[in-house]
A = this chain, B = another copy of it.
Amino acid sequence: MTNAHKHTIAIVDDHLLFASSLEKLIHSFPEFEVLFKARNGVELQRELKAGDHVPDIILLDLNMPVMNGQETLSWLTEIHPGIKVLVLSMEDDERTILKMIREGAKGYFLKDIHPNDLKEALLEVMDKGYYYSAKVTSTMVHALQPGSKSQPLNLKENERTFLQLACSEMTYKEIADVMNLSPKTIDGYRQELFNKLNIKNRVGLVIYALKNNIIEI
């Protein structure tokens, strides 16, 4: 395959060591070449706006400072819908995976993917337009199953806000003040959540919020 016909790739990852290593790996694939690397979404935007080089595929890390993976993906989906974005991440939780797919990622894999599988994934993305590993596929199926037990998505907006505030040292009365609601309403949210999530006290709320990425620590 001549250089002119190689598929082009951009790597967006703030982990320099990983990005450079990945670049070398891809260099060993005759079908692909790395067009450029960026450390975050802002750098990527700069590169793309320069205009003279738009990659076929972007390998996008999820955890970046400045402009993280999700924001970058939203921007790409809107401005450069033609670029196929593959999300690279350490997180394998359902919530994160589904969020990225909904945002338009053409593929999602964990960083512990086997090098051979990466090559296969790149080829398949160029061929079919998407690549999802068995793990991610099963996650999607599971999420679509009716009655799958973990549905942290059906929280109402106020419940979600309350849940986040409940993970602080505020009393319920203080939370009520912040949310401009009666303490009794807050008490209602609390009870509703206890029932819905099958927990017994406020510590349970915190644990749940953490497990489901409702709050960050």
A169 and B217 contacting across the interface, CB-CB below 8 Å:
no
Stretch of A123-131, A140-148, A203-211 on the interface side: A203-211
Known: A18-B112, A20-B25, A112-B15. A211 touches B203 (CB 8 A): no
At the interface, yes or no: A113 with Cβ under 8 Å from chain B?
yes
| 29 residue pairs A–B, Cβ–Cβ below 8 Å | A15-B111, A16-B112, A16-B113, A16-B114, A17-B22, A17-B111, A17-B113, A17-B114, A17-B115, A18-B18, A18-B21, A20-B25, A20-B114, A20-B115, A21-B21, A21-B25, A166-B203, A167-B203, A168-B203, A168-B207, A169-B199, A169-B203, A169-B207, A171-B201, A202-B202, A203-B206, A206-B207, A210-B217, A211-B217
Min Cβ gap A112→B in Å is: 4
At the interface, yes or no: A90 with Cβ under 8 Å from chain B?
yes
Candidate in A14, A21, A28, A167 with the most chain B CB atoms within 10 angstroms: A21
| Chain A residues with a Cβ under 8 A of chain B | 14-18, 20-22, 24-25, 28, 90, 110-115, 118, 166-169, 171, 199-204, 206-207, 210-211, 217
CB closest residue in chain B, given A24: B24
Closest 5 CB pairs of A and B: A21-B21, A15-B112, A24-B24, A20-B115, A16-B114
In the complex the two chains form, what is the Cα distance from A211 to B210 in whole Å?
A: 12
CB closest residue in chain B, given A205: B203
Contacts of A18 in B (CB 8 A): 18, 21, 111-112
Candidate in A166, A202, A206, A210 with the most chain B CB atoms within 10 angstroms: A206
Beyond the given A16-B112, A17-B118, please list 13 additional residue pairs across the A-B interface where CB-CB is below 8 A: A14-B112, A15-B110, A17-B115, A21-B24, A21-B25, A24-B24, A90-B90, A167-B203, A169-B207, A171-B201, A202-B202, A206-B207, A211-B217
